[in-house]
Chains A and B, each alone.
Chain A
Amino acid sequence: KAGVTQTPRYLIKTRGQQVTLSCSPISGHRSVSWYQQTPGQGLQFLFEYFSETQRNKGNFPGRFSGRQFSNSRSEMNVSTLELGDSALYLCASSLERGQGTDTQYFGPGTRLTVL
């Protein structure tokens, strides 16, 4: 069974540009969560999608957005990139996040560098 995949794995952008990151969950998983990890702020929750609906969003500006498609694949978009957006972006999938013994599985992450 294939794990969670994230593309691209590495990305270099310049300030002001926009970027789209992709996450393909494990087959059958309907919940996808996104996280940002930086040395300064640590791990932070971005948003969580379930069946194409955003159920919750962390404290990030409107420049950060996301969506989920009918096949559960998810994308996140960051517009007008700032230097502080340089981070490791992690995606996780689960059958139905938080139910019973449901387990989250994480992808390898996308390392975004903003110059």
Chain B
Amino acid sequence: AQKVTQAQTEISVVEKEDVTLDCVYETRDTTYYLFWYKQPPSGELVFLIRRNSFDEQNEISGRYSWNFQKSTSSFNFTITASQVVDSAVYFCALSKTSYDKVIFGPGTSLSVIP
């Protein structure tokens, strides 16, 4: 069975600090997709990244970076120089194919304090 664990329920950081959100997944599939989504206080989900299990290269997008490690079944998300606008709930997710049903983690609530 597939499962996504986000052990950090809530995190608070001071603005400009770096923060890493952990994501550990379980799957028996040899190929799969991993995702990160952001849900700000407004409630509207924002898609951040999709990563195919074939591609273990880390990705950087501005202040965001993702570290995918198949050996530890982790797909961690780091925000560099955090800003107040980064305050949100972040969800990690897993699916077998790009359009298969997605299994979400419970989310990590990030508060960035000015």
Q: Is B91 engaged at the interface, CB distance under 8 Å to the other chain? A: yes
* Secondary structure call for the A interface: strand
Q: Is A81 engaged at the interface, CB distance under 8 Å to the other chain? A: no
Q: Residue on B with the closest CB to A90? A: B45
The answer to whether A106 touches B97, judged by C-beta atoms less than 8 angstroms apart, is no
Q: Which of B47, B98, B100, B104 is close to A44, meaning CB atoms less than 8 Å apart?
A: B104
Enumerate A3-50 residues with CB–CB distance to B below 8 Å. Answer: 31, 35, 42-45, 48, 50
Known A-B contacts A106-B47, A109-B44; the reply to A98 vs B101 at CB < 8 A is: no
Complex CA distance for A38 and B33, rounded to whole angstroms: 24
The answer to whether B104 touches A108, judged by C-beta atoms less than 8 angstroms apart, is no
The size class of the interface chain B forms with chain A is 20 to 34
The answer to whether B101 touches A106, judged by C-beta atoms less than 8 angstroms apart, is no
Complex CA distance for A58 and B97, rounded to whole angstroms: 14
The answer to whether B43 touches A43, judged by C-beta atoms less than 8 angstroms apart, is no
Total interface residues on A, CB under 8 Å, equals 27
Q: Which of B44, B99, B100, B102 is close to A108, meaning CB atoms less than 8 Å apart?
A: B44
Q: Which residues of A contact B106 (CB under 8 A)?
A: 42
Interface digits, B29-55 against A, CB 8 Å rule (1 contact, 0 not)?
000010000000011111100100000
The answer to whether B47 touches A104, judged by C-beta atoms less than 8 angstroms apart, is yes
Q: Say how far A71's CB is from chain B's closest CB, in angstroms.
A: 20
Which of A43, A48, A50, A108 has the most chain B CB atoms closer than 10 A to its own CB? Answer: A43
The answer to whether B44 touches A103, judged by C-beta atoms less than 8 angstroms apart, is no
Q: Which residues of B contact A35 (CB under 8 A)?
A: 45, 102
Q: Which of A's residues lie within 8 Å of B, judged by CB? A: 31, 35, 42-45, 48, 50, 55-59, 88, 90, 92, 97-99, 102-109
26 A-B pairs whose Cβ atoms sit less than 8 Å apart in the complex: A31-B99, A35-B45, A35-B102, A42-B104, A42-B106, A43-B107, A45-B101, A50-B99, A55-B99, A56-B100, A58-B101, A59-B101, A90-B45, A97-B98, A98-B97, A102-B50, A103-B47, A104-B47, A106-B44, A106-B45, A106-B46, A106-B47, A107-B44, A108-B42, A108-B44, A109-B43
